[in-house]
Structure 1
Amino acid sequence: MSDPNLSSIATVEDVVRLIQARRPDHVNVGYGDMPGQLRVKYVSTERFLSALDKGIGFAGAALALDHGDVQRPAQGVSSGDGVIFGDRLCRIVPDSVREIPWESPTRNLLFLADFEEPEGPLQPRNVYRRVLARARAQGLRAFHSSEYEFTMFEETPRSVREKDYRGLRLATLDNSYHLMLRQGVGSGFYNALMDCCKRMDIPLEGVHEEMGAGFMEAALAYGEGVRAADDAMLFKTVAKIVAQRHDKLITFMARWSNQADGQSGHIHVSLRDEQGDPVFHDPSESRGMSRTMRHFVGGVQRLLPEFLILFGPTVNSFRRYQPWIFSPVAATWGWENRTCALRLIGGSPHSQRVECRVPGADANPYLALACVLGAGLWGIEQAIEPGEESTWNVYENLDKVAPHYRFPRSFAAAIERFDASRAARELFGDRFVDAYVEMKRAQDEEFAALVTDVELRRFFEFA
Structure 2
Amino acid sequence: MHKEEIIQFLKDSNESKVKIAVADIDGILRGKYIHKHKFLDTLDKTLGLCDVIFGWDSGDVCYDNTEVTGWHSGYPDAKAVLDVSTFRRIPWENGTPFFLADFSEDKKYAESTCPRSLLKKINADCESMGFKARFSQEFEWFNFKGKPGDMSSNEFHVPEPVTPGMFGYSLLRTSLNQSYCNDLFEMLEAFNIPLEGIHTETGPGVYEAAIIYDDILPAADKAILFKTAVKEIAYRHNMTATFMAKWNIKLPGSGGHIHQSLWDNYGGKNLFAFDKGSDKMSEILEYYIAGQLTCLPDILPMFAPTINSYKRIGHGDWAPSTVTWGMDNRTAAIRVIRVNDKNTRIESRVPGADTNAYLAFAAALASGLYGIKHKLKLDIPPSDGNAYQDKKRVKLPDNLLDATVQMAASPIAKELFGEAFVNHFTKTRIWEWRQFMNQVTDWELKRYFEII
Match of 1:40 in 2: 31
Report if the CA contact (8 A) 2:86-2:100 is conserved: yes
Contact (CA 8 Å) 1:61, 1:77: kept in 2 or not? no
State the partner residue of 2:92: 102
> Which amino acid in the other structure matches residue 435 of structure 1?
H
Per the alignment, residue 305 of structure 2 pairs with: 313
Distance 1:341 1:462 in 2: 41
Q: Which of these residues, 323, 341, 350, is aligned with residue 358 of structure 1?
A: 350
TM-superposed deviation, 1:42: 1.0
Out of 285, 289, 299, the position equivalent to 1:297 is 289
2:82 alignment partner, one of 84, 92, 97: 92
Of 377, 390, 393, which residue of structure 2 is paired with 1:385?
A: 377
Q: Which amino acid aligns with 1:372?
A: A
Question: How far did 1:155 drift?
Answer: 2.2
1:416 aligns with 2:405: yes
Give aligned pairs, total.
Answer: 447
Residue 452 of structure 1 and its aligned partner are, at CA, apart by 1.4
Cα distance between partner residues in 1 of 2:65 and 2:245: 24
Paired AA for residue 374 in structure 2: Q
Q: Which runs of 5+ in 1 are unaligned?
A: 1-7
Q: What is the DSSP-based 3-state SS (H/G/I as helix, E as strand, rest coil) of the residue aligned with 2:34?
A: strand
Contact 2:224 2:358 in 1 (8 A): yes
State TM-score, norm by structure 1. 0.93
Q: Are 1:204 and 2:206 counterparts?
A: no
Shift, 1:82, TM fit:
4.5
Kindly tell me: are residues 69 and 54 of structure 1, through their superposed partners in 2, closer, same or farther at Cα, counting changes over 3 Å? same
What is the CA-CA distance between 1:357 and the residue it aligns to?
A: 0.2
SS at match of 1:125: helix
Distance 1:47 1:158 in 2: 33
1:180 to 171, 178, 181: 171
Q: For the Cα contact (< 8 Å) 1:160–1:166, is it kept in 2?
A: yes
Offset at residue 301 of structure 1 (A): 0.6
Q: CA deviation at 1:440?
A: 0.9
Structure 1 counterpart SS, 2:93? coil
Aligned counterparts of 2:399 and 2:180: Cα–Cα separation in 1:
37
Counterparts of 1:179-258 in structure 2, within 5 Å, are: 179-258=170-249
Runs of at least 5 residues in structure 2 that lack an aligned partner in the other structure: none
Question: Residue 216 of structure 2 contacts residue 361 of structure 2 at CA under 8 Å; is this kept in 1?
Answer: no
Task: Provide the TM-score with structure 2 as the length reference.
Answer: 0.95
Say which SS state the counterpart of residue 96 (structure 1) adopts. strand
- Tell me, yes or no, if the aligned pair for 1:312 and 1:363 is still in contact at 8 Å: yes
* In 1, Cα distance between equivalents of 2:172 and 2:165: 13
Structure 1: distance between partners of 2:52 and 2:63:
9
1:112 aligns with 2:100: yes
Is the 1:128–1:370 Cα contact (8 Å) retained in structure 2? Answer: yes
CA shift at 1:409, angstroms? Answer: 2.2
Cα deviation for residue 271 of structure 1 reads 0.5
Structure 2 residue 425 is matched with structure 1 residue 432:
no
User: Are 1:441 and 2:434 matched, yes or no?
Assistant: no
Distance 1:134 1:74 in 2: 31
Q: Distance in 1 between matches of 2:317 and 2:20?
A: 39
Give 2:61's aligned amino acid.
V
Q: Tell me the SS of whatever aligns to 1:149.
A: strand
Distance 1:14 1:135 in 2: 30
Contact 1:34 1:65 in 2 (8 A): no
In the alignment, the residues of structure 1 paired with residue 176 and residue 385 of structure 2 have an alpha-carbon distance, to the nearest angstrom, of 39
